[in-house]
Every structure is written in structure tokens, then in C-alpha cells.
Amino acid sequence: MKIAFTDFVQPDLDLETALITEAGFEMVVAEPHCTTEDQVVELVKSSGADAIVSLYAPITEKVFAALPNLRIVSVPLVGVDAIDMEAAGKHGVWIAHIPDAWVSEVGVHAAAMALSLVRHLPFYDRSVRERRWDYEEPGVLHRTHDMTFGLMGCGRIGQQAARSAAPSFGKVIAYDPYMPADACPDWIEQVATIEELFERAHVVSLHSPLTAETKHIVNADLLGQMQKGSFLVNASRGALIDPDALLAALDSGQLGGVGLDVFEVEPPNPDDPLLHHPRTVVSPHAAYYSVEADEEGRSRAIKNVITYANTGAPDHYVVKGEK
């Protein structure tokens, strides 16, 4: 097989090269990275590749239609937002992913953001560095054991976030319309509606996929139902939140603070007001990262292709292909 790499964020592909060479495959790397459908098509057509490893390049109906010899797309991620899943199925292409990638890292990162916010750590840090020494300056500080930690999405990562945060909070609740009641741990209370989640939780941590239904699902109406001074954490997908509504909720004090590891556009515009707001703590889409997790995710994306070549099916997939 020949594997085409459309885009990647790591400094090199030495790990991938070693695995592919050992398997007896070939590889081709886009220079510069593919950011459009046409670039993906040109890369695969010109190289004769029959497999793609991709991060964020658009893999759409147009791409699948133009590449009849494409057999599998593998992503070193849990989410497959950039891929048209329906089109993949229509064209018989396997879509492989890593369902349990970076569970520990993202869950811990989200919980760390939540705890730093409820204890006002980023606000204190800013204040002290600006030569102010006042523990009351960031506003009212409440006891965390009297607070409720809420999850929007209660899958592997959401549950890890809850396990990390739960010892500090009085209650954990979750809204996940796709999770059967008997699949939720006993110590997490499932709520029936997203409105109830936002009404009851003092902190809401987002752990949902990005779909047409969930884009900007956290909007002005939903934020307006939170208790005044509550907190929001997003280490999932930036477009889950309406940024204008978020900024308005911060400016009005409806939200006491926000933790953002992800933005709708990445990297965000340097002038994005959310970057500079005094009640935000941000990180550069880093929740997934540790040295160990990075190596595991990258190697398993390649192993999905190798397993497919050897057995006819990858280790983990979201679309079952026919090729």
C-alpha cells in the first residue's frame, strides 16, 4: 500500500516512517499541507496512494468521488469531523480512528481547567503579576464541595473528567442523549435535558462530538439558564459554542469564567476578544497532549492501515468499507 499524509502537526514523521517501512509500505507527504479538497485529490492522484492519514484536511464527497482507488482513511484522533461519513460509506471507503485516544489527558486537562476556574487561580495569577495583592479581587469564591460538576457528553473522556474532578465537587451530573441509562456510572446522575444540565451545574464541561445538530448548541439561551457566576470548560470542539454569546455572557458576569482549549478557528485570530478577556483561561488545543499519548495516537493510526492491509479491516473504524 501507499499512504498519503495530507497534514500533521508534529515536527516530523520519523515514527510513522519507521512503522510504514517495517510493514513494507510506501508513503508520500503533502508539502505544503492539504487544506482544500482539490489539494487532497491532487496529492492522492499524483502519488497513486490508496490510503490517507489525515488530521484536519477536508475529506468530502468531492474527494471520494474523485478517488475511486482510495480504500481507507485513518485519523490519529477520536473525532472525524473533517470527513463526510455518509459519502465514505457511499463510496465503500473505510474510516478508521482511535476511539480511546488521549482519554486520560483530555479528561484531566478539562478537570484542571475547571478547578483552576472555581478557585480563581488564573485570575489571582494575573492580579499578583500586576502587583495587586487582594484575595477578594476576582469576586466571590465558593466552596467547591457545595458545587455541582456537569458533563455535556458522558463518554470515555467525559467520565475521566468527572473522575478527576469528582473528589472536589459535591455532585456530578451529566446529559448525554445517546448513553443508555444503565451505561452511566452510578455516581453520575443523568439528567433528562440539556436545559436541566445548564440550570443545575455550577461548572459545565463539554465532551460532545461536533455535528450539524451540536454546532453552536451552547448559545445565548442556554448560557442564560446557568446560575449567575457559573463556569464553562471546553476541551472538545470549539464550534460547540457560539462565541458571540460566550463573550456576552462573560461581559455581563453571567459566566464567572471560561476555560478554552479549543476554538472554532484555530489558531484563533490574535485579536479574538476571548483570548484577551480577563475571565478566560486558554490553552493551544493541548488537552490531548503528552509524549506518551502523542506516540500512541500516531502509531495506532498507522497500525489501523497495516491491520486493514493484512486482514481486510482496521482495528477500529467508524465507517465499514467495502474495499
* Residue 119 to residue 129: CA distance in whole angstroms: 17
Number of domains in the chain: 2
- pTM here? 0.89
Residue whose C-alpha is closest to residue 117's, from 21, 209, 243, 203: 203
Domain extent at residue 38: 2-101+290-319
Catalytic residue among 199, 277, 285, 296: 285
* Candidates 71, 156, 237, 300; catalytic one: 237
Sign, CA dihedral 218-220-225-230, equals positive
Q: What is the mean pLDDT of residues 173-177?
A: 96
CATH number at residue 66: 3.40.50.720
- Identify whether residues 299 and 266 lie together within a single domain: no
Mean pLDDT of the region 29-38: 95
Whether residue 67 is found in the same domain as residue 165: no
Q: Does the pLDDT at position 29 exceed 80? A: yes
Sequence-ordered strand ranges (E) for the chain:
2-5, 26-29, 51-53, 72-74, 94-96, 148-152, 171-175, 189-190, 203-206, 230-234, 255-260, 280-282, 317-319
Q: What pLDDT shows up at residue 102? A: 87
Instruction: Specify the pLDDT at position 100.
Output: 87
How large is the average pLDDT for residues 4-14? 93
Catalytic status, residue 31: no
User: Does the annotation count 131 as an active-site position?
Assistant: no
Helix residue spans in 24-174 (DSSP H): 37-47, 61-66, 85-90, 103-118, 121-129, 156-165
Are residues 134 and 76 both part of a single domain?
no
Looking at residue 79, what is its pLDDT?
80
Q: What is the pLDDT of residue 28?
A: 96
Mean pLDDT over residues 209-218, rounded?
93
pLDDT band per the 50, 70, 90 thresholds, residue 19: very high
- Among residues 273, 216, 283, 271, which one has the least CA distance to residue 250? 273
The answer on pLDDT for 305 being more than 90 is yes
CA 239, 299, 110 angle in degrees (round to 5)? Answer: 35
Does the pLDDT value for residue 206 go beyond 80?
Answer: yes
Same domain, 295 and 277: no
Residue 140: count other Cβ atoms within 10 Å of its Cβ: 8
CB atoms within 10 A of CB 81: 14
Phi and psi for 68 in degrees, rounded to 5? Answer: -65, -15
Q: Using a pLDDT cut of 90, give the percent of the chain over it.
A: 92
Confidence at residue 16, expressed as pLDDT on a 0 to 100 scale = 96
Band (pLDDT 50/70/90 cuts) for residue 42 is: very high
222 and 137, same structural domain? Answer: yes
164: its cell numbers: 478527576
Whether 285 is catalytic: yes
**pLDDT tens digits for range 117-152:** 999 999 999 999 999 999 999 999 999 999 999 999
pLDDT of residue 41: 97
Q: Give residue 81's pLDDT.
A: 83
Band (pLDDT 50/70/90 cuts) for residue 243 is: very high
117 and 260 in a single domain? The answer is yes
Q: Which residue has the cell 455541582?
A: 148
Burial class (CB in 10 A: 0-12, 13-18, 19+), 129: exposed
pLDDT > 70 fraction of the chain, expressed in percent and rounded: 100
Are 147 and 256 in the same domain?
A: yes
Distances (CA, A) of 98 to 14, 186, 315, 316, 317: 20, 27, 9, 6, 8
Mean pLDDT of 37-47: 96
In the predicted model, is pLDDT for residue 27 greater than 80? yes
Instruction: Calculate mean pLDDT across residues 260-288.
Output: 96
Determine the pLDDT at residue 77. 85
196 in the same domain as 81: no
Same domain flag for 45 and 167: no
Averaged pLDDT, 108-118? 98
Whether the Cβ atoms of residue 319 and residue 85 lie closer than 8 Å to each other? yes
* Per-residue pLDDT band at 181 (split at 50, 70, 90): confident
Q: Angle, nearest 10°, between helix axes 156-165 and 103-118?
A: 40
pLDDT value, residue 193: 97
Residues 247 and 117 in one domain: yes
> Quick one: pLDDT at residue 68?
96
**CA distances (Å), 321 to each of 44, 90, 95, 265, 314, in order?**
18, 9, 7, 31, 10
Which among 22, 137, 266, 292 is annotated as catalytic? 266
Spatial neighbors of 134 by CB under 8 A, at least 6 apart, are: 127
Per-residue model confidence (pLDDT) at position 184: 87
- Residues 55 and 294 sit within 8 Å (Cβ to Cβ): no
Local confidence band at 183 (pLDDT 50, 70, 90 cut-offs): confident
Residue 202 and residue 124 share a domain:
yes
Quote the mean pLDDT of the chain. Answer: 95
Residue count of the chain = 323
Mean pLDDT of 288-313: 95
**Do 34 and 143 belong together in one domain?**
no
Q: For residue 225, with 0-12 CB atoms within 10 Å meaning exposed, 13-18 middle and 19 or more buried, which class applies?
A: middle
> pLDDT-based confidence at 180, cuts 50/70/90?
confident
